[in-house]
Chain A
Amino acid sequence: MNSRLIHLTVNGKSHEVAVAPNAVLLHTLRDLGYTDVKNGCEIGECGACAVFLNGEAVNSCMVLAWQADHAEIVTNAGLGTMDKPHPIQEAFADAGAIQCGFCTPGMVISTKALLDRNPDPTEEEIREALSGNLCRCTGYGQIVEAVRLAAERLRRSSSSPASSLREAADDVTALGEQGPSQHEERGEPHSDARILPVSEQKEVR
C-alpha cells in the first residue's frame, strides 16, 4: 500500500506526515505524540478519541487520516495545560468528575462542543451531548456537574480571550508546544513518532 503525504495542523502546530491509505486518524495523531487522544474501542462507541476536526467534534477512530488532509485539529491537550487549564478542564478537576481519567479528554471535547453552541444547557441537554462518551468509573453525576460548573464559569467570564478553538490552540503553542514534548519531559524517549518540521517533510517518504 502506498503511503500518502498529508498535512495536519494539530493544536496549532504543523505536521507533514506519510500515512497509509487505511491509516486511521486516531493512530496518526497518537503516533505524532498526541497521546492525550485515547484509544478505547476503535469503532466509534466510546468517545475517548474525540478531537475537533475543523471545529467539529469527531471520534478520530472513525476518520481516515487522509480525510483529514489540511485539516485543523485540536485535541484536549490543545485546550489547556497544567499551568493554564481550560475552564472546562478545571471544572472537571474541581467537580470530582475524574476518576481513572481515561475518558476525560474525550469528555472535555464533547463538553466544549456543547458549550460552544449552547452556553447554558439543561441537565438533559448535557446528558444527550455526552451520550457518546463512555465512562465506567463515575456514574456520570459528577461529570454532569462539571459541565454545569464549566458553563457557569464560562458564562461569568464570557469576555475570556481564549474562547475560540483557534485562540486556545495558539495559547498552548505559545506556552511551549505541549503536545509531543510531554514525552521528553517524562524521560521516555519517543522515537517511533515521525514528527518532522515541515522543512524536512520530504524525508518522510
Chain B
Amino acid sequence: MMERVQPKPLPPHNLPELRQVGKPLRRVDALGKAVGATVYAADYSMPNMLHAKVLRSTVPSARITRLDVSKAHALPGVVCILTNEDAPNAKLNTDMPGQTGKKARSGSDAPVLAKDVVRYVGEPIALVAAESLALAEQALGLIEIDYDELPGVYSPEEALKPGAPILFEPDNAVARWKIRKGNLEAGMAEADVIVESTFKMPFLEHCYLEPDAGVGWVDEQGVINIRVATQVVEHFRSVARALGVPQNRIRIRGTMVGGGFGSKEDITVEIFLALLARVTGRPVKLVYTREEVFTSTAKRHPFTITHRTGVKRNGKITAAQINMIADSGAYPYLSPYVLLYATGMAAGPYKIDNLHVDSVAAATNRTFTSAFRGFGGPQAAVGYEQQMDEIAKALGMDPLAVRRANYMTTGDTTGTGQVIGSAVWPEECLTRAIAALGERTPDTPTRKIGRGFSSTFQSYGRITWFHDTSHAWVGIEMDGTVVIRCGVPDIGAGQSNSLCQIVAEILGVPLAQVTIYATDSAVTPLAGTSTATRQLYMSGNAVTMAADHVRKTLVGRAALEFGVSEEQVDLADARAFVKGDESTSIPFPDLVTKCAAEGLELAHLSQFNAPFTNGIDPETGQGDIWPDFTFGAQAVEVAIDLETGQIELLKSAACHDVGRAINKAAVIGQIAGGSHQGLGYALMEDHEFNGGVPRTTSFADYLIPTTVDFPTTEVIVLESGTGVGPFGAKGIGEPALTPAAPAVANAVADALGVRIPELPFTPKRVLEAIDKRRQKKDG
C-alpha cells in the first residue's frame, strides 16, 4: 500500500466563525453526570413499589407443555404473575411509529409473553411482581415449566433450505430486497478480470453500560406512566396497541440513557411494566440483569456477503453482483430495514453503473437481531471495502488507486439511483486518514506489520418514506434565560447539548442560560427517535426554526428601539445591539419585558419535516431512501505476532466530513468512540451460539475494548458545510463506526498476505491463516 499520501486539497468552502456553534464547550449534561447527580432509569423508586422479574425460555425451540405458576403464586409477598393467558392479545408490533406507505409485515408481531411455543433462548414467558426483588427472584424459581423440544434452525443458510423447520409461515425469509441497475451481463463482459470473494461477520451485542430498566405506574388520571431508558418515547403507541388502550392513555417519560447504540430503539421493559402496573395498581420496577441484556435484547445481524466484481485493468469497475444473507433471529423486529440499509449501501461510495444486489434476512431460533449503530451499513462496508482491496490485489494495483478510479463525486448516484446533493468527499477523508499514520513501523522477524484503510459512506436521517418529523418548542423567559422543550431522548451522544448550543447561537445567550426539557411523550413536543443518526438533523432543524421565530421577535423589537433596520441588529451575550456600534444595546430582560408588554411572540413551536418520498421500485430497487450521507474513512496499522497470532493495533486515524461540527469535543468523542466499537468488531467481539444457546452472556465471556486494548483513534474533522442539518451539519453518530472494521481487515490481510474471511480476527484464525499461507507456499 502507498506509503506517502498527499491529502487531496479541499474545494474552496467558507464557513463563517460562529459564537457558540463549533466550539468545544462543556456539554450541558456533563457536570451532573460527573458528580453522579444524573438519575438513570434504574435509580428511580416510588412509594409502595413492586419489583418485577421475567421468566424466560431456556431452550431455543420448543412447545410449552406445562406452565404452572401456583407454587410461585403461593409464596407470600408475590403479588402478581402474568402469562400469555392473562394478556393473550398483547403483541409487540415492531413497526416504527410515523411509518406510512408500507404495509405492516405479516408475522412480525412477537407475543409479549410466549404462547405455546418458544423460539429463542431468553424469550419472555411469564412476569412476576413481588414486594421485593429477592422475592421476585425466588418466585421465578418456583414456576414449573415443561418443554417438548422442537426441531430448530440455527443459521440463515439452513433456514432457507427446503424442508427446514419454519418459524413463521410461509417461509423463513423475513425480508428480501434487490437492486437491478444497468446491465450486469454487459458490464461483466466488458471486464478484464472478475474478482469473487465472500466475507462473514458475527452477531454482536451492543454492551451499553446501563442494563435496560424502567418503572411503571398508573397515575391519578388513569394514565399508565412508564419511566424508561429508551431511544424512542413514541413507543407509547406500541404500548397502547399491546394493551388495547387509547394512545393518549400511555405516557413514556424517558430518562438520560446510559448508552443505547440501537438496542434501546426496540421496546424492552415498557409493555411488561404497563401490564403489571395496570393489573396490580401499584408502581412496578423492572431492571434487566446483564445476562438478560445478552440473551434477550437485540443483536447486530450476522451477515455473509459475496461480491462478484468485474473490473478493467485500469481499476475501473464495470459491474458488481452482490449477495447478502443476514440472520434475523427468532422475530423480525427491524430486520427488513436493516437489510434495506445494507442493500442500499452495498456497493459503497463508488459509481457502479451495472449493479445487482440480492439480499435476504432469514428467521432462525437465535436471539432476534435489530438495530445496532450503523443499521446494516457497517456490514455492507465490511464487504465492499475488503472487496476493493481484493480487486487491487488481483490487478496488482495500489488499493487507493483502485478507489480513486471508482469514487462517486457530487451529483453522482448511489446504488439505488439516489443523487447525493451534499459534498461527496471520500477521497478527501481517506487521504487525510492515511497521511495521519505517518511513518510505517518496521517488521521484525516475529512481528509482521500491516496497513489497511477503508472509505465508507453512511446515511443519516430515517428512510424518507417514513415521513419523518420532529417538533421543538423554544421560548425566552422574562429574565432572558431560554427554555427548549423537545421530546428528544438523550442517549449520551450529546443530543440535548447540540440543541442547546444551536439555540444559544441563534438567540445570542451563553450556553449556561439555556435549559432543555426533553424525552417525555406527554409534555415535550414529539421529536421522534434517537436513532438513524437523525436527531441533530431533525430536531436540530426543528429548534432552529423555533429559535429563528423568537429571534425575529427580539430583533424586530430591538430595531424599533434603536431606530435602525432589522439587518443592523445582532444578538449576543444576552443583549441586542447595533452591529458595529455595540454601545447601542439593550439587555434581554429589558427587551423581553417590552415584547411581553406588547403581546409579541416570545415562544414558538416548530415542526421540521424530512423530505417525503414514495419508496423504491420493488423490482429495480431504484429510488431515494435517505435524506443524505456522511462520508468517512479510516486507516490503521497493525502488528501481528506470527507465533501467537495476536494482533496489536499500533495506529488508527479516522477522518469524516461532518458538514459542520456543532460541538467539536462531542464530535471527536463520537468518532473516537464509534471507531473503538468498530475496532472491537474486527478484533474481539463475537456473540457466539452453541446451536441456539448463547455462549457469551457476560462481560467475562464477551470481551469489549478496555483502556489497554487499542490506542485512541486520531480524529480528523472536515466541515464541508453542505449537510442537510442545522448550519450545514451532517450526522456522525453511526458513520463514526462504519470504516473501522474493514480498515483493520485490510491491514491484517496486508500483513499476512492472505485474507481471513470471517470477523473477528482471533489469534486462532490468524494462526490458521498463517498455516494456510505456508501450505500454499510449500505446495
Residues in A lying within 8 Å of B, measured CB to CB? 20, 30, 35-36, 38-43, 45-46, 48, 75-77, 79-82, 85-86, 89-90, 92-96, 98-105, 108, 126-128, 130-144, 178, 182-183, 186, 188-193
Contact = CB atoms under 8 A, between A and B. Distances in A.
A43 B699 contact: yes
Contacts of A42: 289-290
A85 B35 contact: yes
A96 B282 CA distance: 40
B482 interface: no
A86 B36 CA distance: 11
B56 interface: no
A26 to B, nearest CB: 12
Most buried by B among A85, A134, A143: A134
A131 B34 contact: no
A46 B699 contact: yes
Given A93-B26, A100-B208, 12 more contacts: A38-B40, A39-B287, A77-B36, A81-B35, A93-B33, A94-B30, A96-B27, A101-B33, A137-B673, A139-B669, A182-B37, A188-B45
Contacts of B259: 99-100, 102, 136-137
Interface string B247-269: 00000000011110100000000
Contacts of A188: 39, 44-46
Contacts of B44: 183, 188
Nearest to B674: A139
B35 A89 contact: yes
Contact of B713 (A36, A82, A96, A139): A139
B301 interface: no
A96 B669 contact: yes
Given A139-B672, A182-B39, A104 B33 contact: yes
Interface string B206-222: 11111100000000000
Contacts of A141: 668, 672, 712-713
Interface of B: 24, 26-27, 29-40, 42-49, 134, 206-211, 256-259, 261, 287, 289-290, 491-494, 665-666, 668-669, 672-677, 698-700, 704-708, 710, 712-713
Contacts of B49: 191-192
Contacts of B258: 38, 100-102
A104 B710 CA distance: 20
B673 A98 contact: no
A140 B676 contact: yes
Contacts of A30: 43
B45 A100 contact: no
A191 B37 CA distance: 19
B525 to A, nearest CB: 22
Contacts of B29: 98, 101
Contacts of B698: 41, 43, 45
Nearest to A140: B707
A145 B180 CA distance: 49
Nearest to B210: A102
8 contacts: A38-B209, A82-B35, A96-B666, A136-B207, A136-B677, A182-B37, A183-B43, A188-B44
Contacts of A20: 134
Given A128-B708, A137-B669, A192-B49, A186 B35 contact: no
Contact of A144 (B27, B38, B676, B712): B712
Nearest to B32: A82
Given A43-B290, A136-B207, A182-B37, A100 B675 contact: no
Nearest to A132: B706
A85 to B, nearest CB: 5
Given A45-B700, A188-B44, A93 B30 contact: yes
A157 to B, nearest CB: 18
A6 B37 CA distance: 26
Contacts of A105: 36
Contacts of A76: 35-36
Contacts of A101: 29-30, 32-34, 38, 256, 258, 492
B26 A40 contact: no
A131 B45 contact: no
Contacts of A178: 37
A42 B207 CA distance: 14
Given A40-B209, A43-B699, A134-B699, A89 B669 contact: no
Contacts of A98: 27, 29-30, 33-34
Nearest to A76: B36
Contacts of A94: 26, 30
Which of A93, A96, A127 has the most chain B CB within a 10 Å cutoff? A96
B708 A138 contact: no
